[in-house]
Structure 1
Amino acid sequence: MVTLSVLSAKGQKARDLEATLPEVNPHVLYEVVKWQMAKRRAGTAATKTRGMVNFTTKKMYSQKHTGRARHGDYGAPIFVGGGTVFGPQPRDYSYTLPKKVRKLGLAMALADRAKDGKLLIAEGFEGVNGKTKEFLAWATGAGLDGSQTVLLVTANELVRRAARNLPWVRTLAPEGLNVYDILRQEWLVLDMPAWEAAQARLASQGKGGEA
């Protein structure tokens, strides 16, 4: 059981909220982040093999009676510009991670921010209507001055638009909440609908996307 700070719509601390979150296991967080990074890899690295290089396949010179080593075509890997042996080819780096582990990782990421007192839940964003200066005023009132990075999670498009121009704020919709982005930023701020969506996601047994 952890105690979370709930901010009023004006950015002032309004009350505390009790939540049940698991103990943090760094290895679980590592496994989930590794899984996320593997899914995001493009896997497009490629080199040309001997059969792909643009050289004639004609034999360089006669096999015998030259006094030189025997060779085939100019595309052989031992020559400059020749094909690469065992070079990278396009591949899919993604793999399957159990849904229970993904959900546990998300819960632990929330717990990690909560234990440091860096998880805030906002009841709203009063006065924020799409302008950066409006969100900056709200954040300053909430004690977020830009000295540390913030992950802002809200379904309100106007609030996300207002915050996304600030270099120290990363914004996400509630369905995009994931372990990697939580751990990358020093503070996590969710509005109440986003917090409830996260709790429902952790409690559900259905299929999920990135944890």
Structure 2
Amino acid sequence: MEVNVFNVSGQETGAKVQLPDAVFGIEPNEHAVYLDVKLYLANQRQGTHKSKQRNEIAGSTRKLYKQKGTGGARAGSVKSPLFNGGGRVFGPQPRDYSFKLNKKLKALARKTALTYKAQDNSIVVLEDFSFDTIKTKNYIKLVADLNLGNEKTLLVLPAADNNVYLSSRNLKKAKVITADQLNTYDVLNAGKLLLTTGSVKTLEEAFAK
């Protein structure tokens, strides 16, 4: 798939870039995408939720009333889950939600996500660039010149660029990552995927094996 290359002013440079079919034109695998997105979201969870069981509640352990003759159910402690302020039955406990997937499966999921973006014509390729200073308005202008002001964008750089990253950090609809940080969730969550010519080469080297 061949696409035009734009500069930071939103104008076509006349150059074209070939998006390799081995990365941007594979047979999609939706189940791989499901597993990789599930992995990403699970790994974001802190797992610090906690409720108290009856042995952790502060309170007296004396028997509330005699066992028989009251006409009601027997009760041994105010800590019982049946009473207000008592322990919780089978409540949440701290746990680790993360799990692992094979490298080949994760690569398949990410290539599927890139293929979906290519099929939807949602990929914009820019020539390699950088900002001289850290200014949010520089990134706003970049997105506006590409007519993507209302779109949720994901910019993939070949290597870390602090000026570009910090210029975009305060924008809700913009996210900047490097090619080695690419994940299925971010690709699918973005309306438009912005790649540089350098990041296209990096992705091809990483996935087209």
| Conserved 8 A contact 1:128-1:162 | no
Under a length normalisation based on structure 2, what TM-score does the superposition of the two structures give? 0.84
Query: Is 1:63 the equivalent of 2:62?
Result: no
| Conserved 8 A contact 2:29-2:108 | no
Deviations 1:34-54 (A, max 9, x none): 111111112222211111111
Select which of 21, 24, 38 maps to 2:28: 24
Residue number in structure 2 paired with 1:111: 115
Q: Distance in 2 between matches of 1:69 and 1:167?
A: 56
Query: Is 1:163 the equivalent of 2:163?
Result: no
Q: Distance in 2 between matches of 1:78 and 1:186?
A: 50
Q: Distance in 1 between matches of 2:82 and 2:131?
A: 68
Aligned length: 202
> 1:76: how far off?
0.9
Residue number in structure 2 paired with 1:6: 5
Query: Is 1:177 the equivalent of 2:182?
Result: yes
Bigger shift: residues 94-103 or 157-166? 157-166
Bigger shift: residues 135-144 or 53-62? 135-144
Residue number in structure 1 paired with 2:92: 88
Letter in 1 for 2:16: D
SS of 1:197's partner is helix
Residue number in structure 2 paired with 1:140: 144
Moved >4 Å (runs of 4+): 64-68
Classify 1:132/1:65 alpha carbon distance in 2 versus 1 (closer, same or farther; 3 Å).
closer
Classify 1:66/1:10 alpha carbon distance in 2 versus 1 (closer, same or farther; 3 Å).
closer
Percent sequence identity is 35
| Conserved 8 A contact 2:131-2:163 | no
| Conserved 8 A contact 1:9-1:125 | yes
Query: Is 1:150 the equivalent of 2:149?
Result: no
Deviations 1:100-124 (A, max 9, x none): 1100111111111111111122222
| Conserved 8 A contact 2:4-2:16 | yes
Q: Distance in 1 between matches of 2:198 and 2:179?
A: 8
> 1:98: how far off?
1.7
Q: Distance in 1 between matches of 2:67 and 2:142?
A: 80
Letter in 2 for 1:120: V
Deviations 1:152-198 (A, max 9, x none): 12222212222333332122233322111111110111223333332
Select which of 59, 73, 76 maps to 1:72: 76
| Conserved 8 A contact 2:130-2:164 | no
Please provide the CA RMSD for this pair.
Answer: 2.3
Deviations 1:102-150 (A, max 9, x none): 0011111111111111112222236663222223333333332x12111
| Conserved 8 A contact 2:126-2:195 | yes
Gaps of 5+ in 1: 205-211
Residue number in structure 2 paired with 1:124: 128
| Conserved 8 A contact 1:5-1:119 | no
